[in-house]
Every structure is written in structure tokens, then in C-alpha cells.
Structure 1
Amino acid sequence: MWEEIEYDELTEDEKKEIVEQEKCDIKMGSIYYKKSGICVFRIWVVKCRNVWLVNGETNNNYLMKNISDNIKQVVIKNVKEYEKYYYVLETSTGEKIKRRDPYSRYTEYESDLCYVIDYLSKRNKNKEISSSGIIDKNNLIIYELHVESYIKQYNSIFNNNNNNSNNDSFFKQIADNAIEYIKELNFNCIELMPVVEYCGEWGYNPRLMMSLNINLGSIDDFEYLIKKSHDNGISIIIDIVLHHGASKMNSLWNFDGYDYKGGIYFEDGGDTGWGAKFNFHKKEIQEMLFMACDVFLGEYGVDGIRFDSAHNIPSWLLKMITDKLRSKYQNKFFIAEVVPENPKYIKEYGFDSCWIHSSYYDIISQFRNQKNQYDWNNGYCKSLIQGHNGFTSPYQCILMMLGNHDQIGNRHNGGIPNGDDRIGRYIIDMFGGRNNWDARAYLRLLYSLSCISFGVPMLFMGTENLQGEWWSVKDSNHNYNWKLIRDKDKLTYEMRNLVKDINYIKITEKDVFSSDYNNFIEFNINPNHLLVSFVREGKNNNACLCVVNMDKCEWLNRNYSVSISNYIINKYGNKIVQVFNSQSGEYGGWDESYTTHKGEIINSLYNKENNNTYFLLNIPKYSVTIYKLCK
């Protein structure tokens, strides 16, 4: 049975352990010392009279005492891991209200019950992983997924009658059933949409900042998913929302009974349009937001964090958080979602990378004829492929040319959200649908382009299967469509083959396509067509010639001339071998679109009069073709 003890009754070793953990920023919540069975409970309140800790199983309560300004504490012994608790607060008017622990790592979704978790042991276990990491920044290829809607239909589609498997959490099902599909396509990083407890569908309305969503699985299951991913060479990045709390069922709203503009966590914070902002100027809020990140890096060993809508957080606070995280986790990867993308977040606020939304919108504008040849010739082509001004390394740009959850998700049953240009559809649907040959060719072109451009490619779940219409969480018909894989749908596997192969080229030719600097040379824009050829060179005496044709015009009789400078010829050779063609027959195109048979040597031609070396190539419409230079 729980028994309250005074802090002074602790042994010197126990006090020392507590002091050491506090040096590591573990100051609030339920701090559990498993070896001694002691748990220190701390909570921040401002306006209430009294606070009691309540044992969730016996209902015994323990009055908490002030230990500093607005911090109350009680020390309990004989505590076991996973025992339940909650708080009762007596407001300034005498009303008694139940509250959850804002620092709880695990809670019941429909009640105020929180679980005692031995997260100190998890931190010690993950120290080595947390300090080293497995992120190869420039060589990332990211697969974005929403945990529930990605795996929810798997068992029913594959008629999995294994009772144990049917009872598995979403985390565990992904680890056991889906990691192999992601690895098979040569993705080496998974970005998980939010996994903390949230209201709504997508995860971007957090009810608590550190509590893993019990509807997705247990803490053990989440750790299992991370370990399984790491064992397969796959990094894990998670989305975190720090700028606002949930608009409904918000556990921090009017927390201690004080109800002015949402109470102590939100008063005078303002609004984001999705929910109330936190009051960022309070040191207690700053500490909580830092810990919301620290928990996933230090206790679970994730490899990186994407900060959702970072422009809604003060820049000084972003820098404070990233600096503090960087001092503890030097090799972790921090992504800022900023609209529009801004290299200042990398140079000044401590981030590694930005989501690049503009490429997607530029491509949509081009498809709608809102961008034309003039734009292509005067900056659009170069910024699309070589990157935007101010970004100096490829890993600084996360490319989502085919859309992310914001553009593909739809809460309006397929309707276009009013005043929202995010479309709410898979991009294949915008181009004419999966049964349209040109649409499929264009999709192949775009994903291939994202892999050879200046940046890190990212693909949202389902795009690799040519999944159509839109993504939805509630509508099972618009969850991830496992039927396409089960039925070995021909169009699906053509696209999956392309994704697998271009990802493999990006990984194996990382000196060329994942360099740590802008290595584009010979960037030749066709002034009359949406076509460009360029060379990317590596540091290991290797280089690739790439031709991108976003036009419907094509040259199929080896009648397109690509000139190469004598510098390139002398350094890398006067021959090329075609190693990739997004219009290959195995991807849904046709093999005659190759310049020669795949792997055959193509010799250069020389114009003595102009001192010009060139190659005559086939350029199919809507294509990316890659040639390796050789001697």
C-alpha cells in the first residue's frame, strides 16, 4: 500500500539519485525510482487552494505540499510500475476537480487516470542510442505515415485469423507486418504523424504533450516499433505540435480552475486558428514544451523531430528548445515546418531542415498552366531542382513534390475545403486518375525528380501504390489500401518498382545524389520546352547526366542533343550508360523509350568545328532519365 514519506526520510543514496535526475531536466510529473519503490509526484498549479494525489485503485489521497513557487509535491513509497493515479484540485471557489498529470507518459483516454512509468530506466537504456543516432542526413528517404489509418485495415484485408495478431496494437502491427514493405521499397526513414494523445483524427490537436496515445498502443509496443525499425536500418522521426493544445477535450484547459482565456497554460497566448496558443512567456510552459521533445529523444530513442507549424512558435523559444536539445542529443535531426520555408530557421533557430511546401504548389500551378515556359526559363526550373536560395546542403530541404498529409488528407468526403488550396486529394487524382496513362507517367516523373533534386525526398503513404481519391482516417475506404498489395495490382506494382529502384539509385549513388553540397554542373535549360539536362558530380570521381522532361513533347529517334563540356569529358569520360528511365516498361512505360538497351555503352560525338562534345539521346515525354559517365 502506498505510504507518504517526507523528503528528509529518504536515504542519502535516494536523495542523490533524485538530485542527479533533476540535473537532467526531470523535475515534474511522477518521477519513479523502481529499485526503491519511491515515486516523487510534482505538479504546477497557481490559483487553487489544495491539491491531493489520489491512488487510482484504492482512492486513498495524499495532500501535496508547496516546495517552491506554485510547485506542489508529495513523496510516496511502496509504489509499483503501472499503478494508476490522478489529482484532485480544490479551486479558489472551493470546488474540487479531477485532473490528469500534464507530464504523464501514459494515460487512459476516457478518464483522468495516469500510469506510473519507470521512464528513468528507459533514459539510461537509451543513452547510447540517444547520443549516437543512425541518421545519415543527406541520404534520408522519408516515408510519412499516420499510424492508425496506415495499418488499420491490414488484418481484415489479409484475412489474418491469428487472434494474437488481431489484438495487437497499431504500433505492433506496423512493426510486425509493415516494416518489411517499407524496407522493400528502400525507404530508410519513417516520419510518424503525432503519436501523443490527441483529439480529432490526424493528431495535430494534442490533449497532453507527453502521453503516448493509448489508442495506438502501449509504451512497450512503441519501443518495439522503434527497435524493429532500427534493426532494419530505418530511422524514426516523429511530428510534435508545440504551438497549441486541443480545441476539444483539452486536459490542460482551465487546469486549476482558473478560467480566464483557458487558464494558466493558455491565458494571453492568442489563437492559431486550430486552437489556443500556449502562453510561451511562462517558464513552466517553456519547460513543458522542451520536455515534450526530450521525452521522445531521451526515453524512446527516436532519431528526429518535425516541429509542426514552427512559425506559430516565437523564434526565441524555438532557439532555446533546439539549443537545449542539441546540447544533449548532438546527432538528432530537427525539421521545421514553416510556411513559406525559410533558411533562417536553419541558420538562426537551430533546425537542420525545412519542409519545402512550395515545390508541390509550383508543380500544381504548372499543371494548371499557371506557370509556363517563361517561368521555367526564369527561375522556376532552377529553384525546383537546385533548391531555393539560402539552403546550402540537401538535407536542409525536405521535398514533398507529390504532397504530404496536408494536401492529400480530406475531412469533407472528397469535397474541396472552402478557401483551402491544399486540394485534399492524392496528386494522381489531380492529373486524371490512376487509370490515366499520362497521369501515371507524370507521377513517376515527379517522384524520380524528387530523388535526383537538391534535397531529401519524402512520400506520403499510399502514393507509392497509385492510391486514388483522398486519404481519410474515419472512412475506412480511404485508409491505406492494402488490397492493392494483396491483389498484386499491376499498376500498383509498376509504381512500387519505380520507387524501389530510384530509391536504390539515390542510396547507392549517394556521393552524387546525396552530396553535402550543391554539386550541379552543366545545368542546361531548354528555352522552348519544359526540359532540362544537368550533371551532378561526386567527390569520388563519378558523375551522372540527368535529363528531366516535364513536357508532352518527346524525341524517340536518338535525335535530342545534349552537349557536355570538355571539362566533364576529360574528368569523367566520353561515354555514358543509361541506368534509369522512368518510362521503362517495368514501371508502366515502354522499353523502346530507352536510348539503347539498358546498360549498353553510348559513345559521345564530337563537332570539330564548334569544339563541342555531345550525346544523341531518346527523351520520352514526362520522364526522368539518368546516365552514368564513364571512360
Structure 2
Amino acid sequence: MKAQYLKDYHEGNSLEAYRFYGAHPEKEGIRFTVYAPNAQAIQVIGSFDDWSCKGHKMRKIDERGTWSIYIKGAKVHDAYKYRITQATGRVVDKMDPYAFYSELRPNTASVVEDLSWDRWSDEEWLANRNKGFDRPINIYEMHIGSWMKEEEEEFVNYRKIAKKLIRYVKQNHFTHIELMPLCEYPFDGSWGYQCSGYFSVTSRYGSCHDLMYLVNEAHKAGIGVIMDFVPVHFVKDDFSLSYFDGTALYEYPQAHDADSQWGTANFDLWKEEVRSFLMSAASFWIDVYHFDGLRMDAISNAIFWHGNKQLGVNEGALNFIKRMNFLLNERYQGKIMLIAEDSTDFPNVTKSTFDGGLGFDYKWDLGWMNDTLKYLKKDPVYRKWHHNNITFSMAYFYSERFLMEFSHDEVVHGKATIINKMWGTYEQKFAQARTLYLYMFTHPGKKLNFMGNELAHWREWDETKENDWFLLSYPAHDAFHQYFAKLGELYTSEPTLYANDYSWESFEWIDADNADKNLFSFIRKGEQNDYVVILNFSPNHYAHEVFGVLQKGMYTEILNTEWNRYGGTLDAPAQKCHAIRVSRNNKPFMIEVDVPAFGGVLLEVKK
């Protein structure tokens, strides 16, 4: 078995390197194994012998650089490090790259952990989960440490927060939770995007079993859990992977390739052992913690050197991505979601690897996000000259399986929160934000929102503070929250809004060119019903506005963003519009609709 693990590892095909490398309980002690081909000598030091370093010299077990030792008396929960005499002769204490747990920062030792847990009860969920192409996917992205703080506690706990979080997610009709990176990391302010321990769940929020409990409870409640994974770069801290054995073992050997824009080191994705390391880490979170998918961070920095198209395609990194996605799909029978954060126009990101694609299931539509928010920042007087900011997304939408997102990146670093990006007065911002979200939830594609968006959060996200839950005591924010939950309910319960997202037949513009009025109208087409969506991004109320429709019948208003129950100004009954056989907008029928200023209208017609 050892020989097969090592063969797969060195050939860059391993998804299970963590079963061999790292610290594993054996009989009356612990087996420690590490890869450091250029080290002169390695000792295991730890709390099991009061860090005395006596008699725990590792030995090479193969000519390619794997070292191992069995230490009798070492036990689960012991802290340890590898004291490495590097290729240069320098002696440095390193964390275990395959450690399953670590000391709480600022301490940096690895901790022996037993990952066996006999309380899993999510077998039915695991058997029935899939990639969700024809299911609603409404993702709640969150930073677990700042969602809701525990009184007088520095950090929340995975287990303690589980019941409250899952109830909240269900009430707001989210289908998945996406957790910002939980691989161990040294600096709180990196939010987990500058990792040190790729197999080590961060100790900030509890134990390995506490996280397992949270995922299990989510699955029992019908909620999927996605992990934010960082396969491109890692921290340069001396205790971590950087120049692990005195050579560029995990990073590129040339500084201009290794040094990233974030002050971290880029993984050398051409090396087979690095590929096995990262693929095993990706598989680890799905296998051991039952995550339902991975959102891969900064994929554009893997596609192109340093994320810059002008520097050319990084072919080695592309081959790594294709191989990883192929092997993960093969291992987990195509049931887990693989999501790319990619800001490039590189083609076929979500195409199968069999057809020459990268093999992701979804790609964040950062173009849609940027164009939409850019449009809504503008004074309505000028919006008619930027009308295509809204219409352009449908020109390219079917080239990939896009996921519509307003993530954490949009509400930090002086960018303003979603509602505060809207042009106008306090009341106008709320009105436009409601219409924006009607647009988002009726636009084809799966959905993602960062925590606080559902509250119309006014303050930018700060990882040291919890959400401003007190906002719900203000009528405008409480009404917006109710409105957001209603949109989630509509989206997750109406197949017309999700079942054929990536089919040309599911969407049709009514009028994409009414720039002078800042009006947009389209149809979401389904088997049982059609939805007519009308969006007014002008401060003008349009009475008896005419729109072409595809079929006769009664069009009933399902939602109006200006109903007063959602914080608007309308206290009127739902509109009912009878289609007349008069051609408009190249459609055989027409309806007349009252469209409020900065408002949106959703109408349904049964087939």
C-alpha cells in the first residue's frame, strides 16, 4: 500500500496523500511521515517529550525523499514540529504540511488529531446530492468568525453556532452555505486566503469534530456546504511551506514566478508532488468533512501567469486544474460542485475536460457583477448611455455555466456595501436595491450573496465585528430582509426560475433597447408558466406602459418591489393584466402594466 501511495504521489495523481503523510495513530504511538527530498536530517520535536528533541531522528524510507518515524508514547492532541536541517545547513522548525490540526495562532505547532467520527448521519444527503444544474442553488457566503459573535468570546464555535446558523439559512431560503477558507492561516486579516495548513482546519473556531458536527447538521436540514479553497498561493512565513527543505519545494524556483501580488508564494503547479499535495487537499475536505463542493479562489492567477493575460497562459497550471477536476469528479461520481472564481475571458472554464475544458461546473460571473453595479452607481440621467451594462450579460451568458454573485469582495476596502453603491437618497437606494435583487433572482444562473447583503447592510464588512443585526429594528431594513427572503422563496420554489438556467429556451428579451426610459423587460419561460420581468431604473413612474408577450391569458402580479410590505410606497392590490392580440416588441400579444419609479414588477401567466 505504501508503494502505491508513493507512486501516485510522485506521478501527480494522488487524491489520498493525507492517508500516508502526516501524523497517524498506530498501536501505542504515532507514525510521522513527511516529504523533504533535499533535507540533510529531520527530527520530530513535540510536547510528547517536552520538546527535548532526544532520539526522534527520522529516516529516509525511499530514495525520492520521504522520511518517517514511529514514536511510541506520542498520542492524539500532542503538539509537534519537524526540526529540519535544510539543504543549506540551516536548521529550522517547520509545521507538518499534512497536519490535521494546529495550535491557535500566534503559536504555529502542528497537533496530532484523530479524524475518525462515528456520529455522521447524512448518508441520505450524500447519496442524493448532485451538481444542481437543474436545481435551485442560492448560496449564503459567510465568514464564520464574524457572522454572529458569542458574548465575551473571541471566536465563535462551529458546534455552538450550528443550530442558529442553519435555522437562519433555512428561513431565508438559501440552499447552500459557502464558508470562507478554513484551512489554517496565521493572520486573521487575510480571512483565510493566505493559508499555511492545507489539511488543518483552523483552530480558531473549534475542533475537527466540531466542524464535522456543523456540516452534518446542515445536511440533515437539507443544506449543502461549500468550502472556499485556495490552490494558487500560500504564506511565506518561515514555519510553513516556504523553502521547506531549504529549496523551492512547493514554490517556483524563480522569484519572478514565485512572488505573488499578495505577498505570498505561488505554488509551482508544474511539479507532480505539488499537484498531488493540492489535489489531496481538495479531496480531503470532501472525503473527511463531507463538503459538497469547492469554490476555487483566484483561478485567473492559475490560467495566466500572475493573472495577467499579457504574460501568457500557464500551461502547467492548466494541466493541473484539468487533472484535479477530472480526478475529483471521477472519485466522487460527479456529485460535488466545483466552482471557479475567474475574472478572465478564457474559454471553456466550465466545459468538460473530455471536451478540452477546465472541468469546473460553475464560474463566477464577475463581468455581470461589475457591469450591473457600475450602472447603478450612475445618476439616472446618464444611465441611458450605459444601457448595455445591463443587457450585455445575456450576450455571453450561454458560453459558460455562470453563477451570479455579490461576494465579500464587493463590500470591503472602501468599495461600499451593495445598497450603498446605489445612486440617490436613502429611500432611493432601498428602492433600487430591491429592483437590483429582483433582476438578480430572475436572471438565468445560480445565485450567491455574502452575509449582510440580505439585511441591506450599510457598513462595510469587518472581520472583527459581527453583522449589524440591530438593523432589523429599523423598519426599512426589516422590510428589505423580508423582501430578500421572499425572493429566495420564489426562486427556490419555481422551476421556471432555475430548471433550465443554461438553455437558450429559458430566456427571451421583451425589450432590451428602451434606454431613454431606463426600462428592461424579459421573459423567463417554463413548462407550466412564464414570468414577465420588468425593471425600471429611472425615477419616473410609467403608467399603462405597453409590453409585448408571447401568449394570451391573464398576467398576474406576483411581486412588486414597491409594495409597502417590503418598504415601498404602494398599498395597491396585485395587478392583473389581460393580454390583447396586438403585436408589440415582435411578440403576438401585449399587456399594459403600471411600473413604479425605481421599481420592478414580476408577472406570472399560466400555460
Q: For 1:208-607, list aligned pairs within 5 A.
A: 208-248=197-237, 251-258=240-247, 265-268=251-254, 269-274=257-262, 275-313=264-302, 314-329=317-332, 330-340=334-344, 342-347=346-351, 348-369=357-378, 372-376=383-387, 379-384=388-393, 386=394, 388-391=396-399, 396-400=401-405, 403-410=406-413, 416=414, 423=415, 425-431=416-422, 436-474=426-464, 476=465, 479-485=466-472, 488-516=473-501, 517-518=503-504, 519-521=506-508, 523-527=510-514, 528-539=516-527, 541-556=528-543, 559-565=544-550, 568-569=551-552, 574-592=553-571, 597-598=573-574, 601-607=576-582
Aligned amino acid, residue 579 of structure 1: I
Match of 1:162 in 2: none
Match of 1:62 in 2: 56
Q: Is the 8 A contact 1:343 1:354 kept in 2?
A: no
Aligned amino acid, residue 107 of structure 1: S
Shift of the 38–250 alpha-carbon distance from structure 1 to 2, 3 Å rule, reads: closer
Task: Report the Cα offset of residue 264 of structure 1.
Answer: 5.1
1:580-611: CA deviations, max 9, x gaps? 1111111111224x5xx23x643223449999
Shift of the 125–469 alpha-carbon distance from structure 1 to 2, 3 Å rule, reads: closer
Task: Report the Cα offset of residue 500 of structure 1.
Answer: 0.7
Secondary structure at the aligned position of 1:143 is classed as strand
Match of 2:34 in 1: 43
Shift of the 213–512 alpha-carbon distance from structure 1 to 2, 3 Å rule, reads: closer
Shift of the 86–243 alpha-carbon distance from structure 1 to 2, 3 Å rule, reads: same
Match of 1:160 in 2: none
Shift of the 335–383 alpha-carbon distance from structure 1 to 2, 3 Å rule, reads: same
Match of 1:115 in 2: 111
| Structure 1 CA distance for aligned equivalents of residues 523 and 557 of structure 2 | 14
Task: Report the Cα offset of residue 29 of structure 1.
Answer: 2.5
| Structure 1 CA distance for aligned equivalents of residues 201 and 209 of structure 2 | 11
Match of 1:32 in 2: 24
Task: Report the Cα offset of residue 45 of structure 1.
Answer: 0.9
Task: Report the Cα offset of residue 299 of structure 1.
Answer: 0.4
Q: For 1:101-180, list aligned pairs within 5 A.
A: 101-108=96-103, 109-119=105-115, 132-133=128-129, 136-137=132-133, 138-152=135-149, 154-155=150-151, 169-180=156-167
Aligned amino acid, residue 151 of structure 1: M
Structure 2 counterpart of 1:196, from 151, 174, 183: 183
* TM-score (normalizing by structure 2): 0.85
| Structure 1 CA distance for aligned equivalents of residues 29 and 122 of structure 2 | 22
Q: Is the 8 A contact 1:253 1:266 kept in 2?
A: no
| Structure 1 CA distance for aligned equivalents of residues 15 and 420 of structure 2 | 50
Q: Is the 8 A contact 1:32 1:120 kept in 2?
A: no
Shift of the 127–293 alpha-carbon distance from structure 1 to 2, 3 Å rule, reads: farther
| Structure 1 CA distance for aligned equivalents of residues 274 and 358 of structure 2 | 19
1:518-549: CA deviations, max 9, x gaps? 3013532243322122221213x322122122
1:67-116: CA deviations, max 9, x gaps? 22011122345654333332222234554322211011101133343222
Aligned amino acid, residue 471 of structure 2: L
- Tell which deviates more after alignment, 344-353 or 615-624: 615-624
Task: Report the Cα offset of residue 31 of structure 1.
Answer: 5.3
Match of 2:173 in 1: 186
| Structure 1 CA distance for aligned equivalents of residues 318 and 244 of structure 2 | 26
| Structure 2 CA distance for aligned equivalents of residues 170 and 445 of structure 1 | 36
Secondary structure at the aligned position of 2:184 is classed as coil
* TM-score (normalizing by structure 1): 0.81
Is 2:600 the counterpart of 1:624? Answer: yes
Shift of the 503–128 alpha-carbon distance from structure 1 to 2, 3 Å rule, reads: closer
1:23-78: CA deviations, max 9, x gaps? 862354335356x4564321111332111223422245422221220111223456
Q: Is the 8 A contact 2:94 2:239 kept in 1?
A: no
| Structure 2 CA distance for aligned equivalents of residues 132 and 288 of structure 1 | 29
Q: Is the 8 A contact 2:141 2:451 kept in 1?
A: yes
Shift of the 493–225 alpha-carbon distance from structure 1 to 2, 3 Å rule, reads: same
| Structure 1 CA distance for aligned equivalents of residues 460 and 540 of structure 2 | 30
1:324-380: CA deviations, max 9, x gaps? 11111221111111113545211211101111112222123323549743542xx54
| Structure 1 CA distance for aligned equivalents of residues 285 and 442 of structure 2 | 32
Q: Is the 8 A contact 2:300 2:343 kept in 1?
A: yes
Q: Is the 8 A contact 2:45 2:83 kept in 1?
A: yes
| Structure 2 CA distance for aligned equivalents of residues 71 and 151 of structure 1 | 44
> Structure 2: which 5+ residue stretches go unaligned?
303-316, 352-356
Shift of the 451–77 alpha-carbon distance from structure 1 to 2, 3 Å rule, reads: same
Shift of the 21–57 alpha-carbon distance from structure 1 to 2, 3 Å rule, reads: farther
Secondary structure at the aligned position of 1:40 is classed as strand
Task: Report the Cα offset of residue 293 of structure 1.
Answer: 0.7
Aligned amino acid, residue 391 of structure 1: S
Shift of the 126–48 alpha-carbon distance from structure 1 to 2, 3 Å rule, reads: farther
Aligned amino acid, residue 22 of structure 2: S
Shift of the 43–390 alpha-carbon distance from structure 1 to 2, 3 Å rule, reads: same
RMSD: 3.2
